[in-house]
Structure 1
Amino acid sequence: MNQITPPPKIEIIPSSAPFSEAQRSWLNGFFAGLLSDAPTPLSAEQGAAVMQGADADDGEAPWHDQTIPIAERMKLAEGRPLRRRMMAAMAQQDCGQCGYNCHDYSEAISSKAEGRLNLCVPGGKETARMLKSLYEEIDKVPAAASTPSTTPTAPAPVAEPGRSRDNPAPATFVSRRLLNKGGSEKETWHIEFDLSGCGLDYEVGDSFGIFAKNELGHVDQIIALLGASHTTQVRGRTLREVLTDEVSLAPAPDSLFELISFITGGAQREKARALAQGDDPDGDAATLDVMAVLQKFSGVRPHPEAFVEALEPLQPRLYSISSSHNATPGKLSLTVDCVRYVIGKRKRLGLASTFLAERVQPGDEVKVYVQKAHGFGLPQDSKIPIIMIGPGTGIAPFRAFLLDRRATGSVGRNWLFFGHQRSSCDFFYSDELNAMKTSGLLTRLSLAWSRDGDKKFYVQDRMREVGRELWSWLAEGAHVYVCGDAKRMAKDVERALVDIVAQHGARSTDEAVSFIGELKKKGRFQQDVY
């Protein structure tokens, strides 16, 4: 019998190329299958280029826009590397609540440096579900194309106390003051903290992370639905303590539905399984927080320990800082809308907003941290004029900007667009702003009240009215800032800016869009939207 000689092993990727043996083997096999003729071995530099191409994209992130729904973002990211699709699943706010920005969080997950898939607070359940689905692809992606680098990720250094969500510091709650007057439909508070004890400072544009506690009455109702005692020991603490400050009682996680499906049967099991998979059998999934789930499956009583394990960790909440460290060292203020609403017959409460509005008391210590801003801050040159657009609580960072410019003696002109529902009861910081206008610090103050007339009138409408002057400021180098609602206001404001540039800058619509895009690239158009 003639001995069959095996074909020679094709070495397209040389041993000098910067890959592991497994990666080199995979790439050799991949290219051997594509090429029928004997290949020319690649140099180390060529191999590196191939490796980069396996995970490369064009460097752009068209989905990085808070106003685009997740389904559209994922479509924009189709065909991109896994880490880029993970980025598209984020909420696109670069808010820092996860401890990263959107790009870095996706990089950390895809490289397995970060295993927590539920840190994106604004993205909520839809982001967590998408990340979970994408995470399952990691082991299916060949090692050579799974991450942009084969170098192990070094553990991040532990930040100083109060500089990250993972190492908060204690700050003292000082006071709260209602900003609305009688007749308002809103409840907005000016909140003061003393930072002198923890030594924190900050820059205008930064955000403040608050670790709030769940409302005690809500906690006790959940314990009653479990049929448990509040003194039951869980994780070395009482059940009441754990439910108060360790776990989220807001939208129910899929893991809670999974737990219920394991300990029940029949129609209830099928319903719990469907909810765990993101289906909505009864049309009420969007309203199901932890208490509503226990009420929906009223005959099911999980063991307290298993119940706690099925819940998500309590996440911090971030608020734009509305004060200046240069103006009031050691002091910090926030401008907070209190969230209260009713579903069915039950009142729901915003976790941190009601904590700050009623539960925390003067002198209490609260776990906090400063989240540095990502591309949102005053221009380095204090002579540059700024245009600030911040209706409602969006005024927070712009109050800080104005206080800081006054404290540092900045000479740049300042134009504020502020709006809300009614001038008589919703004009936040009216005395301060009018005084700034009188002193000349606030060059222009343009107001818009949506409920004062027969027709709703918003900040973007006011912008169009004064479009010629606004274009003049832009032409003279002004920086533009927008703070507030991402889905409606921010989109409408940007559209108004495009129209103003087109009309008063003698440009086509496409040219005006490009002009605004250039402002963003140069850091002259910055947003803090949520």
Structure 2
Amino acid sequence: MTTDLNSSPLSAGQQARLAELLDGISEGQLFWLAGFLAGKCSGGSGRASANTVAAAITPVSAAPELTVLFGSQTGNAEELAQQLAARAADKGVSAKVVDMADYKHRQLKKEQYLAVLASTQGEGDPPDNALDFHEFLHGKKAPRLEGLRYSVLSLGDSSYEHFCKTGQDFDSKLAALGATALAERVDCDVDYEDLAEDWINRVLETIASEAGASQPAAVNPLAAEQAPVSAHSRKHPYPAVILTNQLLSGRGSDKEVRHIELSLEDSGLVYKPGDAVGVFPENNPALVNELLSTLDFDGEQTVSAVEREVSLREALAFYREITLLTPPLMKHWADLAADDALKALVADSGELRAWMEGRDLLDLIKAWPIPRLAPQELVNLLRKLPPRLYSISSSQAAVDDEVHITVAAVRYASHGRDREGVASAWLSDRMSEGDQVRIYIDPNKKFALPDDSKPVIMIGPGTGVAPFRAFLQEREEREAEGENWLFFGDRRFRSDFLYQSEWLKWRRDGLLTRLDVAFSRDQAEKRYVQHCLKENSAEVWAWLQRGASLYVCGDADRMAPDVHQALLEIASEQGGLNPEQAEEFLRQLNRDKRYQRDVY
């Protein structure tokens, strides 16, 4: 913590002793000190009564202290961290939630209890806000932690090769440094709610039992008032009516992109530019019918899928993932099929992933049928159908009780069959104006506008431009003075310049200071947004030196790394930095929340 002692009435010696006391002090200790000093000052006597001092001491000393660290790219780990902290007080545990990017590393050796919640992105990489802590923990300066009790919750997607690797890294390293697990690590797939709930309960019960806590912990007196919470959430989605479902891409485009407007009237849902909408989709009924036919089921069999009984047809249509294969599913299927060839495939992770690519449940059933497979067995094998997240392309300040999203329909052919994206094709092909979509707001504090006076550079090819439409709507409503520079890219100028008329209007009005575009198929040589960045190296560097914030949204596999490399080259060429210094420059921008990415 930082404290301004310049105007203090204390002597130099007293200031030095106070600064030494405050250095590294925990939040619980600080609250005790605040209560103690309040007692000293009460009644004008300059002295605290024994009862006052005891009242200040008792609640804090009785409450074990839990630090909850989160590393999150989209906000799920942060949301769960907040849930853990909120539940801790009821167990008599004093908990504080800290973003890994803001955590003081020297505090680690002073921790009593530690809960780590971390997601994994890309090729097993930590989320952006966890990079520094991950490096510190795996570096030479990491301290011995024999006195620490900890537990890890990992979030990931089992369809990716390095499932939950970041959380696994944290768990193994904390153990190697001497810390002791108070609850076994839990690796969560996309349907993480139940596992996370169980983990939270076990962590808090173990701490309360070990520390002998029984009384509810004191509420943090410095906590900010919470904004009103809507009754609608991921667990209780809102049935939003589709107001507009409009084709956005132009004639001749080989892509189908749609602009969709949803009503939030009377929902109580609020959002900020940078947030996302979670949409609960439905599987294609044609695929469900083909699955049922192949399995020789009529679909009316009763199964348990959502804490209640539904028909098998309903379970496959609304509640289970049927278009994506994962290694856990393949392993369970191999055990039931008792097929040597399938077992050999599952044993080779490289071959397994190659086989799964572009295939779905129907392919698996046809390749390795399981005799006498019961309907409930099938449902139990499949993971829950997760919601799909779409970046919000509107500002609530501009559109009031609406939320807009920009959806690219995914369609492709693979292994002799036509395939489609579950949510994108459902929204594009089978949902019309007046229909209802179950949604919730997924906040993203890691992708938020800076002060109105600060300049921003936005890099968003394709549908990655969606949040920047929200950014500009917001800045227009707030009459923000900061400059705005957009880099947009897509395939063709004539058919794929998404929201073209709006960008050009904002450019004429002066809200959009600069607009640079790259259309990859309009010339012989491919041209992308990273090329635009390099062509404007000097101006990009000058904006960054003036305090501009960088935002990147879109494809995580190729676009985001290519843009990152272009930024490194700009820092080297324009700033005279060597490769290590350029990387550290971008890392510092990230720490300062001036380099934010929403990639998928």
TM (normalized to structure 2)?
0.65
Partner-residue secondary structure (3-state), 1:490? helix
Partner-residue secondary structure (3-state), 2:286? helix
| Worse overlay, 192-201 or 217-226 | 192-201
Give the deviation of 1:199 after TM superposition: 2.5
1 or 2 for the larger relative contact order (CA 8 Å, sep ≥6)?
A: 1
Root mean square deviation, CA, Å: 4.2
The aligned counterpart of 1:34 is none
> Which structure shows the higher strand fraction?
2
Cα 1:403–1:186, aligned 2, differ >3 Å: closer, same or farther?
same
CA distance in 2, matches of 1:116, 1:507: 40
1:212 partnered with 2:281 = yes
The aligned counterpart of 1:230 is 299
The aligned counterpart of 1:365 is 436
The within-5 A match list for 1:18-417 is: 66-69=121-124, 87=154, 90=156, 117-119=188-190, 160=229, 164-235=233-304, 236-254=309-327, 256-257=329-330, 260-261=333-334, 263-265=336-338, 269-275=339-345, 279=349, 280=351, 284-298=355-369, 300-379=371-450, 381-417=451-487
Whether contact under 8 Å (1:274, 1:281) holds in the other structure is no
CA distance in 1, matches of 2:112, 2:342: 41
Whether contact under 8 Å (1:389, 1:482) holds in the other structure is yes
Give the aligned length.
443
Cα 1:316–1:274, aligned 2, differ >3 Å: closer, same or farther?
farther
Cα 1:293–1:111, aligned 2, differ >3 Å: closer, same or farther?
farther
CA distance in 1, matches of 2:553, 2:298: 45
CA distance in 2, matches of 1:106, 1:119: 20
Whether contact under 8 Å (1:324, 1:403) holds in the other structure is yes
Partner-residue secondary structure (3-state), 2:240? strand
Instruction: Render the CA deviation track for 1:124-159: whole Å, top value 9, x for unaligned.
Output: xxxxxxx9xxx9xxx9xxx9xx99x967999xx9x9
Give the deviation of 1:377 after TM superposition: 0.5
Whether contact under 8 Å (1:386, 1:480) holds in the other structure is yes
The aligned counterpart of 2:546 is 476
CA distance in 2, matches of 1:439, 1:104: 50
Give the deviation of 1:254 after TM superposition: 4.8
Supply the AA of the counterpart residue of 1:300: P
Residue of structure 1 aligned with 2:515, choices 421, 425, 445: 445
Give the deviation of 1:371 after TM superposition: 0.7
CA distance in 2, matches of 1:411, 1:283: 51
Give the deviation of 1:283 after TM superposition: 5.5
Instruction: Render the CA deviation track for 1:454-483: whole Å, top value 9, x for unaligned.
Output: 111111111111111111111111111111
Q: Which runs of 5+ in 1 are unaligned?
A: 1-15, 20-48, 93-97, 122-130
Supply the AA of the counterpart residue of 2:442: Q
Cα 1:515–1:114, aligned 2, differ >3 Å: closer, same or farther?
closer
Give the deviation of 1:231 after TM superposition: 1.6
CA distance in 2, matches of 1:282, 1:322: 34
| Worse overlay, 385-394 or 509-518 | 509-518
The aligned counterpart of 1:497 is 567
Percent of residue pairs bearing the same amino acid type: 33
Whether contact under 8 Å (2:397, 2:474) holds in the other structure is yes
Whether contact under 8 Å (1:193, 1:333) holds in the other structure is yes
Partner-residue secondary structure (3-state), 2:561? helix
Whether contact under 8 Å (2:151, 2:184) holds in the other structure is no
1:518 partnered with 2:588 = yes
Supply the AA of the counterpart residue of 1:176: N
Give the deviation of 1:302 after TM superposition: 1.2
Give the deviation of 1:299 after TM superposition: 6.3
CA distance in 1, matches of 2:508, 2:108: 63
Give the deviation of 1:56 after TM superposition: 8.9
Cα 1:387–1:330, aligned 2, differ >3 Å: closer, same or farther?
same
Residue of structure 1 aligned with 2:506, choices 436, 458, 476: 436
The aligned counterpart of 2:104 is none
Partner-residue secondary structure (3-state), 1:175? strand
1:424 partnered with 2:494 = yes
Whether contact under 8 Å (1:383, 1:412) holds in the other structure is yes
Partner-residue secondary structure (3-state), 2:396? coil
Supply the AA of the counterpart residue of 2:414: I
Instruction: Render the CA deviation track for 1:248-305: whole Å, top value 9, x for unaligned.
Output: 102234555455445544xxx2234345556447952334421111111246351111
The aligned counterpart of 1:529 is 599
